[in-house]
């Protein structure tokens, strides 16, 4: 099983947040690969710029270091993922980053690790936390 981390998961895992459960860590330990999307970089940039998160370093340096330290791979955002993001079946909310993450998980057959209730309630993607 391969896992895609949403932006909150990247933050919580990298900052050793206590909300990361033993179950979540077990899933990640057993995963063949753990990947992130470049869209999470855009989200981190916006969050830091607006003062919504405080990182010990500039988001760009922080994300690169977290990616290298955790040996996460980066899955590119392809045209197919963008097409999927705006063609998702059923009803899904409008947040572009959540659409990209959900489409990436669907197109790449990844389990999406997220605490986002809107994504977790969407029946057309595999999620856990």
Asked, for residue 11, whether it belongs to a domain, the answer is yes
Residue-number span of the structural domain to which 44 is assigned: 2-119
CA distance 92 to 1: 25
Asked, for residue 94, whether it belongs to a domain, the answer is yes
Asked, for residue 113, whether it belongs to a domain, the answer is yes
At 44, which CATH number?
3.40.50.1010
Asked, for residue 126, whether it belongs to a domain, the answer is no
pLDDT of 16 above 90: no
Which residues, at least 6 apart from 7, have a Cβ–Cβ distance to it below 8 Å?
Answer: 39, 40, 43, 44, 47, 97, 101
The structural domain count of the chain equals 1
CA distance 129 to 112: 9
Asked, for residue 128, whether it belongs to a domain, the answer is no
Query: What's the pLDDT tens digit per position in 43-61?
Result: 999 999 999 999 999 999 9
Asked, for residue 129, whether it belongs to a domain, the answer is no
């Amino acid at each position: 099983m391969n896992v895609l981390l949403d932006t909150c998961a990247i933050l919580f895992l990298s900052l050793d947040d206590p909300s990361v459960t033993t179950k979540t860590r077990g899933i990640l330990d057993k995963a063949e690969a753990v990947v992130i999307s470049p869209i999470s970089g855009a989200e981190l940039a916006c969050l830091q710029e607006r003062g919504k998160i405080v990182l010990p370093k500039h988001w760009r340096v922080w994300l690169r270091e977290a990616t290298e330290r955790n040996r996460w791979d980066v899955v590119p955002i392809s045209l197919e993922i963008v097409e999927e993001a705006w063609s998702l079946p059923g009803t899904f909310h409008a947040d572009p980053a959540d659409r990209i993450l959900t489409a990436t998980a669907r197109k790449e057959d990844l389990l999406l690790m997220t605490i986002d209730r809107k994504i977790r309630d969407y029946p057309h993607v595999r999620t856990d936390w």
